[in-house]
Amino acid sequence: MTTLENGSGTGAASPGPGTTPPKASRPAKPRRRSRHNREENRAGLFLISPTFIIILVAVVLPIIWAISLAFQDVRLINIRGTGIIGEYTLDNFVDVLTSPGFFSALWTTIVYSVCGTALAIGVGLIAALALRKPFRGRGLVRASLLLPYVAPVVAATFVWSTMLNPQFGIVNWFGQNVLGWEDPVAFLSDRALPVNIFGWEVDLPIALITVILFEGWRSFPFAFLFLTARLEAVPGVLDEAARVDGATPTQRFRHILLPQLLPTIAVLCVLRFIWTFNNFDDIYLLTGGGAGTEVVSVRVFDLLTARGDIGAAAAQALVLAAILAVLVGIYLKFFGKQEEQA
Amino acid sequence: MSAQTTTVRSTTRAPRRGMTRDSFENGLFRILRPIVIVLLLLVAVVPFYYMVLLSFRSLDSLVQNPGALWITIQELDFSTYLKVLAPVDAGGQGFIVFMRNSLLVALATVVLTLAVSIPGSYAVSRLAFFGRRQVSALFLAVYFFPAILLAVPLFVFFTQIGLRGSLVGLLLVYVSQVAAVSIYTLRNYFATIPVSLEEAAALDGASRFQIMRKVSIPLAMPAIVSNGLFIFMIAWNEFLFALLFLIEKRDSWTVSLGLSQLSGSIEVPTTVLMAGSVILTLPIILLFFASERLLVGGLTAGAEKG
């Protein structure tokens, strides 16, 4: 088990024992041991430093600078003269929080992330269960199901918007000629679509639903992949024993498989939520943030490029990151313990 | 099957009703399973089929008959590909140049990232150095950071130093974005290689760097290759930073950026841009199917950041 001890880097416990005991027992240890440690320390620092420097220069310093920019009145026009030090002010944050549309954008972001995550994991789970038993061509089917995830997002959004096009899109053609729709539906540019469900007149937020469906389509393969890997690790004996005891398929899923899958599902929820929450590409490319699909990251982009208001863009991005950190923190606080138990 | 029914009958807890529920569910799922598989397959693949289909049609035939799901030999129209690939002077969209840019950036990202992350991940997994835990945590945090927050200062910085429009600036950002993922996945792989192998080499008198070069890296080759492919895909597919940095200089556009910029214009027919989509997607799909087994490991370990 030496590999385990030396292996995990973020695993909180392992580096601790490696570094502290020699210090505590220094007098007892022979000289050679500490020289070896020093040499290892130097080699480690030397090997990690290129990555560390790149991340410091291209990620850490920019983020510190973004925080500084968020507290200054900086616009693209007066950008030449600005640095880390400037006149700090809270105006950007006040503007962001009081600006019209911020809270609706935040709400849209949350709805989009929650529904997109749930859809992706739900479909991914169904796919993983359906493909559990081997059959001819399963490998090819499995690989094909991963296509939406690996394909470039620009091509995927472009095909979707062509398929959903009101004039010559295949979906509207099908709807009008086969399903008998009266008018073509502008899936990506209509804010609301009045629909009659059992006599109830309901306004469906059609553009928002479409981008959520796109998110589900694009990321279900990710959940499918994780859940398939986990399913393969479930011992077959458990399932077999339950079958012998007369448990039906749904009972076996509920009492045998689901408890085994829950930790994976929980991790997937966190990962997918974080990425969907931060997502910019999909919505920018599908709707440009119009028709009730404006999420916070698209607002940041517009502030930055269209209005050139750098300070406000930085402040808004910071607010986004902070809200995400709080949401994930709350989740981990309440569900993190259960995950470990499960 | 018969063994199963006998066991069910013999248990006291499962009378007739339980048995019927069991056989009902078994029957239901036997019918549902293939239906679900076919539906999922259609949902995943049809958009790509449609993409290829439209790329071979002319705009006229599309507008006249939008519902056609196949194409006759007579209708096949390869001119869309010529139009999208030809340089702008020749009346095309210049996708050859975009592809060259994408390829350059993606390959350089792979090489540079692996060059820094192989030693880095080895260090994180094997060597006890000061601050190892903090460095790992930092790399992991980078991975979850909103790209849009990073976009603001980088946009400002590249504007200030006049690097906007340069592929080198983009390359630096890509490397910094994927290095964290790369270190994370490679580290996990290095951890599975038995330390005893390295200790044996050390007893034979090999130095730390000789061990790394001759023992550890060759053993980690499968992980390194799958990681490299994965980085290539991220860099090839990336859109946000390309949009921020390159938009003003058409000559430096990547394929993703080129497609997104041209898809908004009325002058370029949709079918021509579908040919562009195929050109953007095809390398990735070929790469994916050629190395699917290797890549799936990289996909589960990493994700979509970039």
ipTM here: 0.86
The CA distance from A68 to A165, in Å, is 43
Answer whether A249 sits within 8 Å of B26, measured CB to CB.
yes
Do residues B260 and A286 touch, judged by C-beta distance below 8 A? no
Nearest to A226 by CA among A277, A254, A280, A262: A262
Report in angstroms the alpha-carbon separations of B171 from A26, B141, B246, B279: 46, 21, 12, 22
Which residue in chain B has the smallest CA separation from A273?
B144
Measured between beta carbons, the chain B residues lying within 8 angstroms of A246 are 7-8, 11, 13-14, 18-19, 22
Answer whether A10 sits within 8 Å of B136, measured CB to CB.
yes
The pLDDT, as a whole number, for residue A272 is 92
The CA distance from A5 to A2, in Å, is 5
pTM over 0.80: yes
The pLDDT, as a whole number, for residue A17 is 39
Measured between beta carbons, the chain B residues lying within 8 angstroms of A169 are 66
Q: Which residues of chain A have pLDDT under 70?
A: 1-33, 79-86, 336-342
Which residue in chain B has the smallest CA separation from A61?
B153
Which residue in chain A has the smallest CA separation from B3?
A244
The pLDDT, as a whole number, for residue A30 is 52
Of the candidates A15, A58, A320, which has its C-beta nearest B173's C-beta? A58
Inform me whether the pLDDT recorded for B12 exceeds 60: no
The pLDDT, as a whole number, for residue B214 is 85
pLDDT bracket for residue B134 (50, 70, 90): confident
The pLDDT, as a whole number, for residue A341 is 47
Percent of chain B topping pLDDT 90 = 28
The CA distance from A59 to A53, in Å, is 10
Measured between beta carbons, the chain B residues lying within 8 angstroms of A7 are 125, 190-192
Nearest to B188 by CA among B306, B273, B107, B298: B298
- pLDDT (tens digit, 9 = 90+) per residue, B149-185? 898 888 888 777 776 667 888 898 999 989 988 988 8
Measured between beta carbons, the chain A residues lying within 8 angstroms of B127 are 40-41, 43-44, 47
Measured between beta carbons, the chain B residues lying within 8 angstroms of A47 are 119-120, 122-123, 127
The pLDDT, as a whole number, for residue A337 is 59
Going by the DSSP 8-state scheme, the letter that residue B72 receives in this structure is -
Q: What angle do CA A250, A253, A255 make, to 5 degrees?
A: 105
The pLDDT, as a whole number, for residue B88 is 83
Measured between beta carbons, the chain A residues lying within 8 angstroms of B172 are 54, 57-58
Do residues A49 and B129 touch, judged by C-beta distance below 8 A? no
pLDDT bracket for residue B300 (50, 70, 90): low
Report in angstroms the alpha-carbon separations of A1 from A6, B198, B203: 9, 15, 20
Of the candidates B22, B45, B281, which has its C-beta nearest A248's C-beta? B22
- pLDDT (tens digit, 9 = 90+) per residue, B265-299? 777 888 889 999 999 999 999 988 888 777 776 66
Answer whether B44 sits within 8 Å of A221, measured CB to CB.
yes
The pLDDT, as a whole number, for residue B133 is 85
Inform me whether the pLDDT recorded for B244 exceeds 80: yes
The pLDDT, as a whole number, for residue B19 is 59
Of the candidates B37, B175, B277, which has its C-beta nearest A155's C-beta? B277
Of the candidates B157, B300, B303, which has its C-beta nearest A229's C-beta? B300
